[in-house]
Amino acid sequence: MGSNKILINIGFNNAVSLRRIVAVVGPDAAPVKRLKEEARRQNKLIDATNGRRTRAVIITDSDHVVLSSVQPETLAQRIEDNE
């Protein structure tokens, strides 16, 4: 199965390519907050929360930072299920 076409649902009909995901982390640590701000400054922040609380931050291999309202554990399980 080629993982280059697998999309992971990150909530609200949004998806990220499995092969592009480098990390899924919680949003509360100071380094993650700095990472989000830097991505915002570089226009590489994608907010996929639909106005909900950010529960997970997805970091991609293109240095894009994607905000999701789905728990990191749930996203990790979805990734694991598709590998």
Average pLDDT, the chain: 94
pLDDT at 62 over 90: yes
pLDDT at 3 over 70: no
DSSP codes joined into one string, the chain: --GGG-EEEEETTEEEEGGGEEEEE-S-SHHHHHHHHHHHHTT-EEE-STTSPP-EEEEETTS-EEEESS-HHHHHHHHHHH-
Per-residue model confidence as pLDDT tens digits over 7-19: 999 999 999 999 9
pLDDT digits (tens, 9 = 90+) for 9-51: 999 999 999 999 999 999 999 999 999 999 999 999 999 999 9
Whether the pTM exceeds 0.75: the reply is yes
